[in-house]
Amino acid sequence: MSAAPQAAARQRVALIGLGAIGQRLAAMLLARPDAFELVGALVFDAAQGARDVPALAPLLVADAAALLACRPDVVVECAGHQAVDAHVETVLRGGCDLVLVSVGSLADAARLARLDAAARAGACQVQLVSGAIGGLDWLGAAHSAGLDEVTYRGRKPPQAWLGTAAAERVDLASLQAATCFFRGSAREAATLFPLNANVAATVGLATLGLDLTRVELWADPGVRDNVHEVEAQGAAGQLTLRLINRPDPQNPRTSQITAHSALHTLLRRRAAVAL
């Protein structure tokens, strides 16, 4: 008779970034001490971070070397493109797996090549979160079967586009009707709107690539939530997907579901049976 299986060990997790996504994810990790141990959090200014999130002050570090010294099993990046450039290669070359929330950063081909090389050098993996979009399993399978075209359409309230290049294209404050202010490729969308278009990059990477996946971005005063739509067709069939995500109260540019998507990724990593 075989011995009873041992309980899965707690996963040691470290974070890069404690903004809206990082704080939400940190709270969820701390609420699951059976599954996770939060061992460190890298922030731009540890002293300021301690004032902003005093409960996490003992865990704060200011560079990737110090984060690796916390001996995490996995690091979750949730701090944006600059943090990817500043810290992620060091984490990967240090041999630590990484979960990447800022998928739009991979629209830069040179950055993607650097992360690929760093992961190979460290014999580890970069795992992308699905974030605010769904259907990636079908899209990936359909890509293998043969996809003809894919369009992603992102629709958000005008205020969610404040502080982005959208403000240079339309008067966000006076919009009375839904307005499409960008049509182009997923690479262009993720490059021009790095704080808003992670989903565009995710869909592109899962399907036809960043240059062939078409994207529309809309500012819509008629919606309160972040709306994501995907249309795809190919040899295996066609997909029409519409998701309505509640915006994060701390940052309307992102969706509440994004932090939960990162948590789901971490849970799959430790599960004996995973979907």
Domains of the chain: 11-128 (3.40.50.720), 136-254 (3.30.360.10)
The average confidence (pLDDT) of the chain is 93
| Cβ-Cβ contacts under 8 Å for 86 (sequence gap 6 or more) | 64
Strand 11-16 with 74-77, pairing: parallel
Residue-by-residue DSSP string for 4-70: PPPPPPPEEEEEE--SHHHHHHHHHHHT-TTTEEEEEEE-S-HHHHHHHSGGGGGGEESSHHHHHTT
pLDDT, mean of residues 167-190: 96
pLDDT, mean of residues 48-55: 88
Half-sphere exposure of 249 (CA within 13 A, CB side): 2
Q: What is the pTM of this model?
A: 0.91
Active site residue ranges: 228
Contact 189, 212 (CB under 8 A): no
pLDDT tens-digit series, residues 126-166: 999 999 999 999 999 999 999 999 999 999 999 999 999 99
